[in-house]
Amino acid sequence: MSDNCCNKKKPTIDDICPGCEKVAVSIETVKAMVNFPLWDIVGNKFFLDDEPTSSNVYFSLDSGMMIDEKDIREKVFAKHSQDDDTYVCYCFKVKVGDIRQASPEERQQILERIRNASAKGQCACKTRNPKGSCCIEDVKKLIDSFNQK
């Protein structure tokens, strides 16, 4: 079973930030995440700034626009991965605290539920997850980190 629920296409050179080498986030993801009028978005290609110490979430190389955390609908897991009230899985509303408080067996059940629902096409990662892609790897890493404690 594939651990990625999102269709992956190979990025072109235009989809990669020359500075950080990250792949662009879909403009649809950005539109779904901002909490301001969409006509205020300037630019067509945005990248995720996942650096925890930066308040910036998205930036556009073509327009120079930067979108701050205060302008995003959800806390960003990449920036707040230890906060219990942060979603690690936005589609199925699984928070860091849910995984922290679960037993190792319950953690595995959470992961399997996400995998199974994703395999059935019940996820919407491209629009619900601020990074614009599948959360399963993040969920697995978080579970692993708590299981090692």
Give the residue with greater pLDDT, 1 vs 4.
4
pTM: 0.85
Region of 6 on the Ramachandran plot (φ > 0 left; ψ -120 to 50 alpha; else beta): beta
93 and 48 both lie in a single domain: no
59 occurs within a structural domain: yes
Amino acid 1: pLDDT = 45
State the average pLDDT over residues 96-115: 97
Q: Is the dihedral of CA 89, 91, 135, 107 positive or negative?
A: positive
What percent of the chain shows pLDDT beyond 70? Answer: 85
Residue 4 lies in a domain: no
**One-letter amino acid of 81:** S
**102 located within any domain:** yes
In a domain, 2, yes or no: no
Whole-number Cα distances in Å, 69 to 54, 59, 120, 138: 9, 12, 32, 20
**Domain count across the chain:** 2
Q: How far is residue 87's CA from residue 97's CA, in Å, rounded to a whole number?
A: 9
- Are both 62 and 94 inside the same structural domain? no
Instruction: Show the domain range for 109.
Output: 87-147
In a domain, 5, yes or no: no
pLDDT at 30: 94
Is 34 within a domain? yes
Look at residues 22, 38, 71 and tell me which one is the last residue of a structural domain.
71
Give Dmax over CA atoms of the chain in angstroms: 47
Residues 103 and 58 in one domain: no
pLDDT higher than threshold 70 for residue 15: no
